[in-house]
Chain A
Amino acid sequence: EPEVTQTPSHQVTQMGQEVILRCVPISNHLYFYWYRQILGQKVEFLVSFYNNEISEKSEIFDDQFSVERPDGSNFTLKIRSTKLEDSAMYFCASKEARSGNTIYFGEGSWLTVV
């Protein structure tokens, strides 16, 4: 079964450093997402991406965050200057089409900011 894959699985970074989290969505999917889950809390929407542009973003997704689809397969989340409160599990997800289709999650990238 096709899967969303994410790298790295775990990254430790110094506060203020830039981090890039990488994702390869399922190949025929058109909608891509980043979600965040702080330890013990709910899964929070960050951003959705369709047709090579952001379609929606939450208030969490401020100027420190950006997303990119640099080629036909990768989808990246960049955090420009990490803060302690950015420590969380970041899930990439993808969906085949807009209308109520299942969103499939990757295994997550656990980011620890020290």
Chain B
Amino acid sequence: GENVEQHPSTLSVQEGDSAVIKCTYSDSASNYFPWYKQELGKRPQLIIDIRSNVGEKKDQRIAVTLNKTAKHFSLHITETQPEDSAVYFCAATMNRDDKIIFGKGTRLHILP
């Protein structure tokens, strides 16, 4: 089955700087890669996703890149703000599967 590795586990970034979180996946058949943001005690919320026929996708300060050959995908947050502090999870899924598999999460701290 699919296995998703995520790093770093924690990341501290000065407000206004960029943050990058990286993930790898094991199953080359995976074709959909969502990113979720989870605030303390809350549910995971989808912030951006990318499909395997696309190499990059951007939504305001958030971008995701996908390298299918290397089975890597990354989340980039630019001009970080205090409200970006949260745990971020990458995930992967295949068309033939119903489920998504999550990485272990990255706790992002935005420093004032």
Which chain A residue lies CB-closest to B96? A98
Contact A33 B99 (CB under 8 A): yes
In angstroms, how far is the closest chain B Cβ from the Cβ of A44? 7
- Segment with Cβ contacts to A, from B38-46, B56-64, B66-74, B76-84: B38-46
What are the residues of chain A within 8 A of B45 when measuring CB–CB?
Answer: 105
Complex CA distance for A55 and B99, rounded to whole angstroms? 10
Chain B interface size band reads 20 to 34
Contact partner of A98 (CB less than 8 A), chosen from B42, B95, B103, is B95
Contact A48 B99 (CB under 8 A): yes
Contact A56 B97 (CB under 8 A): yes
A84 within 8 A of B: no
Contact A100 B31 (CB under 8 A): yes
Contact partner of B102 (CB less than 8 A), chosen from A44, A106, A108, is A44
What are the residues of chain A within 8 A of B99 when measuring CB–CB?
Answer: 33, 45, 48, 56
Which chain A residue lies CB-closest to B102? A43
Complex CA distance for A108 and B36, rounded to whole angstroms? 15
B20 within 8 A of A: no
Contact A102 B34 (CB under 8 A): yes
Contact B51 A108 (CB under 8 A): no
Which chain A residue lies CB-closest to B98? A48
Which chain B residue lies CB-closest to A47? B99
Which chain A residue lies CB-closest to B38? A43
B101 within 8 A of A: yes
Complex CA distance for A31 and B99, rounded to whole angstroms? 9
Which chain B residue lies CB-closest to A46? B99
What are the residues of chain B within 8 A of A98 when measuring CB–CB?
Answer: 95, 98
Contact A55 B103 (CB under 8 A): no
Contact A42 B43 (CB under 8 A): no
Contact A42 B102 (CB under 8 A): yes
